[in-house]
Structure 1
Amino acid sequence: MDLQPRAPTGWHVWVTGNGGYGAPTPGVVVQWQYLPVHNATATGWAALVVHVPFEGAVAMEWVPAERIEPIVDPAPQER
């Protein structure tokens, strides 16, 4: 029996629009992947994210790490 804690397989995040336009939308990271890039300002990391780009729609796409911000909520005991 494995009693070690496991890293989460998904993370709740905010996804900003291309070019920083539009309001951030909620999403869940399914997978991270390093992609070779030829841009000095990019990290090279991208996440497969399921997010809600607008009401009534769900999208799954690879999003560069620069467009992702973690959703940080206080723990229930901190509220």
Structure 2
Amino acid sequence: MPKLLSPAVGALLAACLALSAAAQPRPDPTDARAQVPRITAKKPPPPQAADDPPSADWRAANARVERIGGWRSYARETLAPEQAR
């Protein structure tokens, strides 16, 4: 039968398992009165502001649209045939 673990690795693994079991006894899951550690929920971090560009002045934007020709100018752009590329 081939060896799966060297004796040193097996001893180390057994020691680690024994220490973890001795350090933290687990409550019986079938006992409704068993003492269990309290679970606390952590709050998520507050939302971060998006790196959006600063908003433009709406009055200046409206004035620019008026200079261009208003909504009719934008409507003509959509109705015009596409230029060859």
TM-score, normalised relative to structure 2: 0.18
Bigger Rg over Cα: 2
Higher helix fraction (1 or 2): 2
Higher strand fraction (1 or 2): 1
